[in-house]
Amino acid sequence: MKLINQRRSLAAIAIMFTFCISVSVLIENASGFEGARKDDARKPNIVILYSDDAGYADFGFQPQCAPDMRELTPHIDSIAADGVRFSNAYMSGSVCSPSRAGLMTGRYQERFGFDNNLPPGTKSGLDRSESFGAKRLQKIGYKTGLIGKWHLGYPAEYHPNERGFDWFYGLLQGSRRYFPIENVSPHRVILDNKTPTKEVGYVTDRFGDAAVRFIEESKEEPFFLFVSFTAPHSPNEPNRNDLHRVEHIKKKRRRNYAGLVVSLDDNVGKILEAIKSNGIENDTLVIFTNDNGGQTLTGANNGELKGKKGTLWEGGVRVPWAMKMPDTIEPGTVVDDPIISLDILPSIFELAGHSVEADWKLDGRSFVPLINGDAKTLPTRTLYWRQGGSNGPIALREGNWKLIHNRQETGSAAQLFDLSTDLGETTDLAGTRPEVLKSLNRKLVDWESDLQQPLWGRGSQRTISQQRDRN
């Protein structure tokens, strides 16, 4: 009897030991599953809303917004209100296609000969040895879409579908009419991937509707969507239904320009609503910015900034920039650190949990620490610009110092400005701060030594040869 009781006790202990082991294994597996779930959490969606030629002072979220535009951009303004406004934001180019080339590759476009706008009908485009960020995102599981303006190459091998975009809905050239064109050219027709579409409707609305379609069809997987609006690039053809909203503006050119901005804002609103209604708002980073400085010749207002589109003054390269991502960016944040479009790709990859490979040779850096609260500021760096090759204008910004040398102008010299006290670049300090001028000039020389001459346009080998022939 005593032996039976001992055996029963041993059996009970064994059962209890087995139970404890099982519970332990279950807890460990549950912990492991939780860890895996966190590691495999959905990558964030990225939506870039890119306006074209808009003025620095033409959006309500800008502190220096022009009074006639202050109430016209509520949807765009909501991005800054719900997220962050960057007060020192730049494009890497001062005209349309170079700025896109820099943003798409994360590299200074002058490194691969893209100083100048791509002329219509050019038989090449952005160097095919350069990798697009979209293609890199495809490799880590992103669905990619480009809506609107391309302007990076016309031949078939340069088509967006060949450069990393799963879906393209837009035009290959840099601009077109906003209304249907009777005999539309192959580079101005709106393509659905590679198929021409019918000339119907208002172009800005078509792009907004296409973006909504992409979001609704892609919401179950991480996606990258670049909405490259043509608005408010010329021609100044506002939607007639919007004219009553801008009738307070007396000058016709400015009024028609404002009508383009109103339509832009309406379609940004469509896109924001699609993100929200499809339940992916908390998983989506939305960036709104502009492709270069405002084109004052068509009605844009750059406020106190000197210059306009096509120059390397602040009015040519400084842009409005707002972003939002609930649960990551504190609403109403303002970041004063200088950022540049080249920073977008490394930031996306950090948010997606993937490191940037050294052999990508990106020129930007992640701004994620500035938007998630990990850092109030980042180490000072130097930003660079050039246009038209080694005889064209060149500039840099380091800290508050801005150096610009308009080398295309006879008798010009490098000029130096302190942007912290002189945002309008009115007082040249080159004569009073020669040590700063010398140091920054040396950095410009070093940077330019790694650049390629333009492949087309001003400063290219062809134009240099033509000038020699004329002489």
The pLDDT of residue 7: 43
The pLDDT of residue 42: 84
Spatial CA neighbour of 290 closest among 251, 255, 316:
316
Same-fold call for 45-371 versus 382-470: no
Q: Quote the tokens at residue 13.
A: 């202990």
Architecture of domain 382-470: 2-Layer Sandwich (3.30)
Q: What's the alpha-carbon Rg for the chain, to the nearest Å?
A: 26
Torsion, Cα 142 205 100 166, to 10 degrees, reads: 30
pLDDT in tens, 254-283: 999 999 999 999 999 999 999 999 999 999
The pLDDT of residue 41: 75
The pLDDT of residue 461: 74
- Domain ranges in the chain are 45-371, 382-470
Q: Which of 20, 65, 75, 151 is catalytic?
A: 151
Which 3 state secondary structure label does DSSP give 143? strand
Measured between alpha carbons, how far is 45 from 328 in angstroms, rounded to an integer? 13
Eight-state DSSP code of residue 343: G
Is 354 one of the annotated active-site residues of the chain? no
- Stretch (H or E) spanning 404: strand 401-405
The pLDDT of residue 316: 98
The pLDDT of residue 471: 43
Task: For the chain, count helices (H), then strands (E).
Answer: 11, 16
Q: Which of 65, 75, 96, 405 is catalytic?
A: 96
Torsion, Cα 51 54 58 59, to 10 degrees, reads: 10
Architecture of domain 45-371: 3-Layer(aba) Sandwich (3.40)
pLDDT by position in tens, the chain (length 471): 433 344 444 444 444 444 444 434 333 443 333 333 334 578 999 999 999 999 999 999 999 999 999 999 999 999 999 999 999 999 999 999 999 999 999 999 999 999 999 999 999 999 999 999 999 999 999 999 999 999 999 999 999 999 999 999 999 999 999 999 999 999 999 999 999 999 999 999 999 999 999 999 999 999 999 999 999 999 999 999 999 999 999 999 999 999 999 999 999 999 999 999 999 999 999 999 999 999 999 999 999 999 999 999 999 999 999 999 999 999 999 999 999 999 999 999 999 999 999 999 999 999 999 999 999 999 999 999 999 999 999 999 999 999 999 999 999 999 999 999 999 999 999 999 999 999 999 999 999 999 999 999 999 976 655 554 454
Does residue 44 contact residue 283 with C-beta atoms inside 8 Å?
yes
Is 96 one of the annotated active-site residues of the chain? yes
